[in-house]
Amino acid sequence: MSTLTYTTIPTPAGPFTVLADADDTVHAAGFTADPAFLAGMLGSAVPDPGPHDKVTEKVQAYFAGDLDAIGDVTVAYRTTGPFRTKAWDAMRTVEAGHTISYTELAATAGNPNAVRAAGSACASNPIALFVPCHRIVRSDGSSKNFLYGLECKATLLAHEKQHAAAA
């Protein structure tokens, strides 16, 4: 794994910390001010602070209403198996302002019977926002869980719905 550094960006959904390499490839991200938490998800040492201006600009643009700003941020997945990787890729195809169910995620990832594995992919997603697990909901449209809290998830979904409608 490349040498990582971190930066924390204030957002309306709470502090957002990004662990990225020198090329601004994001290895972990989440709504926390604790880089140790994210490093733990990767099984790596806590990185030093470092500037990630390109990623910071994209996150700020997203929260300013440019929902597409984060779509081209490069991410690096941990090696966890083919279905989880497919599920994370499938999450990245869900447009801002929209949600899909865990059942739809499983089908999009290539295994319609893997609904529990789809939920597990959401729960173990180390790259929140850029791999938008917050856009995955229960079949009835409700939110079950979100690593950073249901209030954070609701804030993100409301932000996206508002700005997608305005576009």
Q: What is the CATH number of the domain that holds 29?
A: 3.30.160
* pLDDT of res. 1: 54
Give pLDDT tens digits for 36-88: 999 999 999 999 999 999 999 999 999 999 999 999 999 999 867 889 999 99
Q: Which of 23, 46, 70 is the last residue of a domain?
A: 70
Q: Are residues 17 and 93 in the same domain?
A: no
The H-or-E segment that residue 29 falls in is strand 26-30
Domain that holds residue 22: 5-70
- Asked whether residue 156 is assigned to any structural domain, the reply reads yes
Q: Are residues 57 and 93 in the same domain?
A: no
Q: What is the CATH number of the domain that holds 157?
A: 1.10.10.10
d(CA 135, CA 100): 7
Give pLDDT tens digits for 112-158: 999 999 999 999 999 999 999 999 999 999 998 899 999 999 999 99
d(CA 33, CA 35): 6
d(CA 21, CA 14): 23
d(CA 108, CA 93): 9
Catalytic residue flag (residue 133): yes
Report the SS3 class of residue 116: helix
Neighbouring CB atoms inside 10 A of 79's CB total 7
Q: Are residues 58 and 88 in the same domain?
A: no
Number of structural domains, the chain? 2
| Catalytic-labelled residue, pool 19, 87, 133, 147 | 133
d(CA 52, CA 26): 10
Helix axis angle for 115-123 and 82-91, nearest 10°, is: 70
